Amino acid sequence: MQGGKLIIFSAPSGSGKTTIVKHLLQQPELNLAFSISATSRPRRGKEKHGEHYYFMSLSEFKNHIKQDDFLEWEEVYRDNFYGTLKTEVDRLWAEGKNVIFDIDVAGGLRIKKKFPEQTLAVFVKPPSIDELKIRLKKRSTESEDKINMRIAKASVELATAPQFDSIIKNYDLETALKEAHKLVADFVGAKVADGQ
């Protein structure tokens, strides 16, 4: 496994990392491709296999762990596994792309440890835990219990922020998007027009 650059965006759920990653993917000069994670959790809403996640059964996922098929994996919640398949990164590198990840904190740090020179690890910080709770409730995709689990996890994740290469404070989305763009452009050596 070797190839282009790896760009990791990690954050507590609801911090805005997915919005930032989607924005960066639309910037052609960055030459990014999205690494689709594998998960054992059920699909939500209109999620599609191979587009949002590679959905697998719990036994399939555990089999991939045994085969050492993952670059990183974690049991985020009980029986809810997430991971990055080595074949996914190889596929994107073979296309000559820089790979961008929207993954949880532990997974992001594991990839950074495996590829320290090739990886830019960015932590997206929410304005506050209270703001995070408001954002998660607005989504209306999860129960109060699940939201409380995510909030409890967020406090732990926020403590890992100093281990990342950069921290973006997402208090104002426009500012956060510009900051993310500059960080990634500098890292991949992209030529950016003034005012970007």
Residue stretches of the annotated binding site for ATP:
11-18
Place of tokens 């996914």: 88
Known binding residues: 11-18
Which residues, 6 or more positions from 135, have their beta carbon under 8 angstroms from its beta carbon? 14, 15, 16, 126
Q: In DSSP terms, which residues pair with 124 in a beta bridge? A: 168
Torsion of CA 188, 119, 53, 81, to 10 degrees: -170
Which residues, 6 or more positions from 29, have their beta carbon under 8 angstroms from its beta carbon? 185, 190, 191, 192
CB 135 within 8 A of CB 14: yes
Cα–Cα distance for residue pair 136/140, rounded to 1 Å: 7
Place of tokens 């989305």: 173
